[in-house]
């Protein structure tokens, strides 16, 4: 119910619910997943086996979560806001609301008391009057993102570390943004452009050094460049994409480009490098303004782990000058599959007693040359980091 007073209005109570179209969509989607779970259960009962029971339970839970989207609603009244989602209902007194944060998909309403849970409205466009809900919240509550951005901007403009005058400090902030954008852009380009050149030593060295350059950039920025930042609420720029892409390419080309015989020697150097990288990124780029410290550290750890694994494999194999050892084995299977292009594989018997069978991707010519049961020679190298790897001499 609305009571109009000129161009403004007071709200007695308004309820926003999921639109009919979205309810139908979520209902059909949930029914499809529920049916898949039932099929799993019936097949297991028929076969008198229950290995897939965990999968069925997961599907049933997912169906319940998706179907439960239809119960989402928001009630706005003069003295309170109540939001109901799939699992719970939260309520905030209007007088206790500090402000809101409005994103492209989510609206967050925060209390003046940090101990009071905030209200999060996900996918507000699913509501029948989602645009009205967004507008009302924006019109009636303080924009916390804008306030944080203005406060941080003012704080930095009065920080003597960045210059003697306000103009110099503003120039320093602008310069840091350009430096981080440039670093990120070059990192993204370098990652994609290096894929066809991943076996060139100079390219490998460049990919290894680039994330270290990002850490150095953060360290020299006096805190203006962070690992990650939210540009809606923070002046700080960030390097996360520039750090991620070279490491990801190292990991991808390392995992797909070399055949590792024994992986247990990979874990120690990878773990040490991962922890060192995580510590360096944390010390130079941790952003106290981000809402989740745990999520931020988890992101640092994930990027460092990807980089460390790729770096370990590439260094071990790319710069391995040891003399290869020739072993004789035989082919027990061969097959091909299609993933964007045709891939050809030879399955090899163990190189020595007690070892596991090996599998190697080969060219179409090599695939056609050999048959199941044929003998074949394989070269094994020690590895620069003592991680054995192997290849077919004709393929290397």
Residue 94 and residue 243 in one domain = no
Residue ending a domain, among 145, 162, 194, is 145
Phi, psi of 355 (to 5 degrees): -90, 165
Of 99, 127, 145, which residue sits at a domain end? 145
Same domain, 124 and 190: no
Q: What is the CATH number of the domain that holds 380?
A: 2.40.50
Which single residue is written with the structure tokens 């007695």?
12
Q: Which residues contact 65 (CB under 8 A, 6 or more apart)?
A: 86
Same-domain check for residues 78 and 165: no
In a domain, 54, yes or no: yes
pLDDT tens-place string over residues 323-357: 888 888 888 888 888 777 788 888 888 877 667 78
Pair 141, 281 in one domain: no
Looking at the fold, whether 48 and 137 belong to one and the same domain comes out as yes
- The domain total for the chain is 3
Judge if 129 and 247 occupy the same domain.
no
pTM score, whole prediction: 0.76
Structure tokens at 230: 């939210």
> Is 17 domain-assigned?
yes
Residue 8 reports pLDDT greater than 50: no
What pLDDT score does 2 carry?
Answer: 44
Same structural domain, 165 and 305? yes
Chain Cα centroid distance, residue 11: 41
Same-domain status, 313 and 330: no
In a domain, 396, yes or no: no
- Does some domain include residue 292? yes
| The pLDDT of residue 46 is above 70 | no
Q: Are residues 367 and 246 located together in one domain of the fold?
A: no
* Structure-derived torsion over alpha carbons of residues 223, 224, 225, 226, reported in degrees to the nearest 10: 60
Residue 189, in any domain of the structure: yes
Domain assignment of residue 344, yes or no: yes
Q: Where are the alpha helices (DSSP H) in 71-223?
A: 130-140, 144-157, 166-193, 201-220
The answer on pLDDT for 383 being more than 60 is yes
Distance CA 221, CA 215 (A): 10
Which residues neighbour 34 within 8 Å (Cβ) at sequence distance 6 or greater? 59, 60, 63, 67
Q: Note whether 256 and 277 are within 8 A (CB).
A: no
Residue 52 has a pLDDT of 55
Question: What is residue 50's predicted lDDT score, i.e. its pLDDT?
Answer: 52
Taking 70 as the threshold, does the pLDDT of residue 10 lie above it?
no
Is 181 or 343 the better-scoring residue by pLDDT? Answer: 181
Band of pLDDT at residue 279, cut at 50, 70 and 90: very high
131 and 186 within one domain: no
Q: How many helices (H) and strands (E) does the chain have?
A: 10, 17
What's the angle, vertex CA 390, arms to CA 388 and CA 391, rounded to 5? 160
Domain boundary, last residue among 268, 290, 318: 318
Residue 174 counted as domain residue = yes
Using an 8 Å Cβ cutoff, are 101 and 144 in contact?
A: yes
Q: Which of 92-101, 202-211, 282-291, 354-363 has the lowest mean pLDDT?
A: 354-363
User: What is the rounded average pLDDT of the residues 291-315?
Assistant: 93
Q: 333: domain range? A: 325-391
102 and 165 together in one domain? no
In terms of domains, do 43 and 92 share one?
yes
In a domain, 313, yes or no: yes
Binning pLDDT at 50, 70 and 90, where does residue 49 land? low
């Amino acid at each position: 119910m609305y009571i109009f007073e000129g161009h403004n209005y007071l709200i007695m109570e308004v309820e926003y619910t999921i639109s009919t179209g979205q309810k139908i969509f979520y209902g059909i989607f949930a029914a499809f997943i529920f049916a898949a779970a039932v099929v799993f259960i019936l097949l297991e009962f028929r076969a008198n086996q229950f290995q897939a029971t965990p999968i069925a339970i997961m599907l049933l839970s997912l169906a319940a979560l998706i179907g439960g989207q239809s119960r989402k609603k928001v009630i706005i009244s003069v003295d309170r806001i109540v939001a109901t989602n799939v699992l719970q209902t939260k309520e905030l007194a209007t007088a206790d609301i500090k402000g809101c944060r409005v994103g492209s998909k989510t609206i967050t309403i925060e209390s003046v008391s940090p101990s009071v849970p905030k209200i999060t409205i996900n996918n507000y466009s699913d509501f029948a009057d989602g645009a009205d809900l967004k507008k009302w919240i924006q019109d009636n509550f303080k924009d916390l993102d804008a306030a944080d951005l203005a406060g941080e901007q003012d704080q930095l403009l009065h920080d003597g570390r960045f210059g003697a005058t306000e103009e110099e400090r503003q120039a320093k902030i602008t310069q840091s943004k350009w430096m981080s954008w440039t670093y990120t852009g070059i990192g993204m380009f370098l990652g994609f452009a290096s894929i066809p050149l991943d076996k060139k030593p100079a390219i490998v060295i460049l990919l290894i050094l680039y994330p270290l350059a990002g850490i150095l950039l953060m360290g020299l920025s006096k805190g203006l460049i962070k690992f990650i930042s939210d540009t809606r609420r923070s002046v700080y720029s960030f390097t996360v994409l520039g750090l991620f892409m070279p490491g990801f390419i190292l990991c991808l080309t390392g995992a797909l480009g070399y055949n590792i015989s024994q992986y247990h020697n990979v874990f120690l150097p990878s773990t040490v490098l991962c922890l060192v990288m995580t510590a360096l990124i944390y010390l130079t780029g941790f952003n106290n303004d981000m809402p989740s410290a745990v999520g931020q550290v988890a992101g640092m750890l994930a990027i460092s782990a990807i980089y460390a694994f790729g770096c370990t494999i590439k260094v071990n194999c790319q710069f391995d000058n040891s003399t290869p050892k020739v072993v004789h084995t035989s082919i027990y299977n061969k097959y091909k599959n299609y993933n964007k292009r045709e891939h050809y594989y030879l399955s090899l018997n163990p190189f020595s007693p007690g070892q596991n069978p090996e599998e190697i991707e080969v060219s179409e010519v090599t695939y056609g040359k050999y048959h199941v049961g044929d003998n074949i020679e394989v070269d094994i190298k020690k590895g620069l980091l003592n991680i054995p790897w192997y290849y077919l001499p004709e393929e290397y």
